[in-house]
Each structure stands twice: as structure tokens, then as C-alpha cells.
Amino acid sequence: MAPPAATTPFPDSESANIKALKNSIGLNGAVKSNGNVKAKTLEEMESKWDTFAFEPIRESQVSRAMTRRYFEDLDKYAESDIVIVGAGSCGLSAAYMLGKSRPDLKIAIIEANVSPGGGAWLGGQLFSAMILRKPADAFLSELGVPYADEGHYVVVKHAALFTSTLLSKVLAFPNIKLFNATSVEDLITRPDPNGGVRIAGAVTNWTLVTQHHDDQSCMDPNTINAPVVVSTTGHDGPSGAFSVKRLVQMGAVKELGGMRGLDMNTAEDAIVKKTREVVPGLIVGGMELSEIDGANRMGPTFGAMVLSGVKAAEEAVKMFEMRKGERED
């Protein structure tokens, strides 16, 4: 779709903004770099909006500032220590624990959606509050997310408060890169010395490309090597249970158990207890596990998702320590 056309002329072609830009542009049309622009406080701007102007910029500077960093990240994380597939409540909880406990590891998170967070922006039936059964309140205290204590369970007033706090902390870790709008569309495999395969990384593509393999041809993917992959892609659905479904297709797992009906008490304990390495190199956590194990679903209680993430992080570190010698770079 074409961008909307301007319907009114530019009001002041010699605005302070444009004059500043012209002054700062050299003969070749490039904006001269100025590393010593004095920072202004919001108080200094207050009531001075008539004389207000942004610092000048050339469009290519914006382009380069984004693309240089993105391509540096693609280069850096092409060999990762741990790849987390899916940034829902389980994947983000695992990422938080890993980012905090192992600042020495390179951790890539691949999230198919533009917006990370999976099903954790709302509680059940699109209501706001998020319920977590104890002892998952320990993770909220760790994050500093406030909650109401209701005895056996706690209530966060809005699920988005939990998810935005968790996300902001995960994104701030210098050793974690979130590649969102990017899908894992296959797994890298190697023959395992004990027979079968081990998982050795993730095969990625822009999600928009992944969605168009049926109507466009030859759109080959990209790859990330890693000795440990943690898959937390949720239960089956338009994009869920990705890794376990792929394991069945490639014969690494015989069949899926299929997620069973809702039973909060049974489901949550089972998901945390069974969070594990399902084939060498691949740990599965969160609701993706219900599909392989034939476990119940729990619906709108999130304690198992965060504690499955905490356990997946612990398992990932153990597996990394065992396998780091196998890194191929």
C-alpha cells in the first residue's frame, strides 16, 4: 500500500529544524557527526515549545544505526550458547534466569510474532488479572512485580504488568538478543553418538517469509548454531508446539501424546516436573510439553509457565556445561 499523500504544503520550509539540518550538512550531503551535543532535561524544555527543535539528522544515519547493529547481532549470535525458541511466559522466564545467572553466555531468543509475550498479556477469557499459584510468587518477588496474596495463590492486577516487567529486564541483559518477527522453521541436527539425532541449533526465517512458503518458492532460511536449544512455543495452534511436531516428522520422537483437557492441579505440577531434555540438545518447557507428554492444560494460571522456565534455565546450564566442548566455531 502506498503511504498517504501529503494534502497540505509543508508549513515553514525554513523552520529552525531545517535551518539546523542545512547548517550541519557538509558538501557531500552528509550530516556532520557531533558527539558533544549537550543533553537537555525535560524541565529545560518546559514552556519553550515555540523555539523547540530536534537535533538534525540525515535519513541514512537512521538506516545505518539500525542495520549496522542488527547485522552485528546476526553475526555475533550465528554461534550462540543457548537458543530459546518462543518468547511467551515460559521462554521469557527461562531467558531471565539465564541472563542473570550466566552473563558469560550468548543467548538468542527467536520469537515468531512482532510482539513478544505469547499468551501472557491477558489472563483467561481476555480478562486483565493474572493468577499464579504458590510457590510461583517467588518469581514475581524476584522481578519486583507487585501482587495481591490470596492464600494459595497470588493475583497480579494486570498480566501486562508481569509481561512488560519481565520483558524489560530480559531485554536489558547485554548477553541476550531477541530476534522477533522471526520464526524457527526447522532444527539443525547432527547424528548423536548414541544413535538418533541431537539438536545443534535453529533454522530461522522472517515470519512473513515463513508464512509464504506455499505461494513463493526458493526462500531459503538462515541458521543459528548452538549446543543447547530450549523450545517453549506453546500448545498446538496456528504456530504452537513447533519443535515437538518437527521431532515427530523427522522420526526423532515416535508420536505426540496430544494436550489433554483442563485440570489445573494435575497440569501445573506435571509441566514443571517434566520440563526436560526430550532429545539430545533440545529442552522443552511450558505448554509445548503438554503436546509431547499428553499432559493436561491448566488454562489461565501461569505459575507452571514461569517455574517451567526457571527449571528449563537450570537444565540448559547443565547441558551447556556438558556440551560446550562440542561447539563448532
Which residues of this protein are in contact with ligand AHZ, per CB under 6 A? 85-91, 110-113, 118-120, 183-184, 232-234, 239-240, 242, 286-288, 297-299, 305
Q: How far is the CB of 167 from ligand AHZ (least distance, A)?
A: 11
Q: How far is the CB of 68 from ligand AHZ (least distance, A)?
A: 25
Nearest residue to ligand AHZ, scored by beta-carbon proximity? 88
Per the DSSP assignment, residues forming a β-bridge with 176 are 107
Closer to ligand AHZ by CB, 270 or 317: give it: 270
Closer to ligand AHZ by CB, 99 or 119: give it: 119
- Calpha distance 234→181 (Å, rounded): 16
Closer to ligand AHZ by CB, 105 or 304: give it: 304
Q: How far is the CB of 183 from ligand AHZ (least distance, A)?
A: 4
Q: How far is the CB of 211 from ligand AHZ (least distance, A)?
A: 11
Close Cβ partners of 45 (under 8 Å, ≥ 6 residues apart): 52
In 3D, which of 226, 183, 181 has the Cα closest to residue 204? 183
Q: How far is the CB of 149 from ligand AHZ (least distance, A)?
A: 22
CA 170 to chain centre: 9
Closer to ligand AHZ by CB, 14 or 214: give it: 214
For the four alpha carbons of 75, 78, 165 and 144, in that order, the dihedral sign comes to negative
Q: How far is the CB of 328 from ligand AHZ (least distance, A)?
A: 23
- Calpha distance 208→2 (Å, rounded): 19
Closer to ligand AHZ by CB, 123 or 227: give it: 123
Buried b (16+ CB within 10 A) or exposed e, 40-78: eeeeeeeeeeeeeeeebeeeeeeeeeeeeeeeeeeeebb
Q: How far is the CB of 63 from ligand AHZ (least distance, A)?
A: 26
Closer to ligand AHZ by CB, 88 or 280: give it: 88
- E strands within the chain? 82-85, 107-111, 130-133, 148-149, 153-156, 176-180, 182-191, 197-206, 222-225, 228-231, 260-262, 276-279, 282-284, 296-297
Q: How far is the CB of 231 from ligand AHZ (least distance, A)?
A: 9
3-state secondary structure of 83: strand
- Calpha distance 9→13 (Å, rounded): 9
Joined together, the cell numbers standing for residue 106 give 550468548
Closer to ligand AHZ by CB, 234 or 281: give it: 234
Closer to ligand AHZ by CB, 56 or 116: give it: 116
Write the secondary structure of 117-161 as one string of H (helix), E (strand) and C (coil).
Answer: CCCCCCCHHHCCCEEEECCCHHHHHHHCCCCEECCCEEEECCHHH
